[in-house]
């Protein structure tokens, strides 16, 4: 019976320690959140913010999206479709779009925020923002 109590106490202490560790403030996330005006200052909230960019009204332009990404950190753009082409047909949006894949170059930011795809109308208006992996 004593062994079970000791194991229970150890499990509780470990659970509390893990909880405290995962909820520690992250200075990099705090700095990025402050630049974006996002609260609470967590990686999850920053990720949610990026995922909701396509719901903004008026819609964000490609330049506005890139300005937001610049506030997060340096990134590379991989064109999944050529912006000078007609793009690809998106049956859900019922129009042609072109896609950019964004990868942050900072390893911590990439690990925490993942890789993103942004879909734009021919006029450069954001239609969709999708987390590809996290």
Q: Which residues are within 8 A (CB) of 86 and not within 5 positions of it... i.e. 6 or more apart?
A: 96, 122
List beta partners, residue 96: 89
In whole angstroms, give the CA distance from residue 58 to residue 117: 20
In whole angstroms, give the CA distance from residue 104 to residue 116: 9
The total of other beta-carbon atoms located within 10 Å of residue 83's CB is: 14
Taking only the tens place, the pLDDT of each residue in 106-125 is: 999 999 999 999 999 888 89
In whole angstroms, give the CA distance from residue 105 to residue 117: 15
The total of other beta-carbon atoms located within 10 Å of residue 18's CB is: 10
Q: How large a percentage of the chain has pLDDT more than 90?
A: 59
Mean pLDDT, range 27-47, rounded to an integer: 95
pLDDT of residue 3: 60
Mean pLDDT, range 24-49, rounded to an integer: 92
Answer yes or no: are the C-beta atoms of 86 and 97 closer than 8 Å: no
CA 113 centroid distance within chain:
4
Q: Rounded to 5, what percent of the chain is helix, strand, coil?
A: 45, 25, 30
> Is this structure's pTM higher than 0.85?
no
pLDDT of residue 14: 57
Structural domain boundaries in the chain? 27-133
Taking only the tens place, the pLDDT of each residue in 66-109 is: 999 999 999 999 988 776 677 788 888 788 888 999 999 999 99
């Amino acid at each position: 019976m004593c062994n079970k109590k000791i194991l229970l106490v150890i499990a509780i202490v470990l659970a509390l320690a893990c909880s405290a560790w995962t909820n520690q403030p992250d200075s990099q996330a705090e700095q990025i959140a402050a630049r974006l005006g996002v609260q609470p200052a967590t990686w999850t909230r920053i990720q949610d913010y990026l995922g909701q960019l396509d719901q903004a009204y008026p819609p964000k332009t490609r330049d506005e999206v890139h300005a937001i990404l610049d506030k997060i950190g340096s990134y590379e753009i991989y064109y999944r479709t050529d912006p000078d082409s007609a793009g690809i047909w998106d049956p859900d949006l019922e129009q042609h779009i072109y896609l950019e894949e964004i990868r942050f170059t900072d390893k911590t930011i990439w690990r925490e925020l993942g890789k993103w795809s942004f879909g734009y109308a021919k006029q450069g208006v954001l239609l969709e923002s999708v987390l590809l992996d996290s």
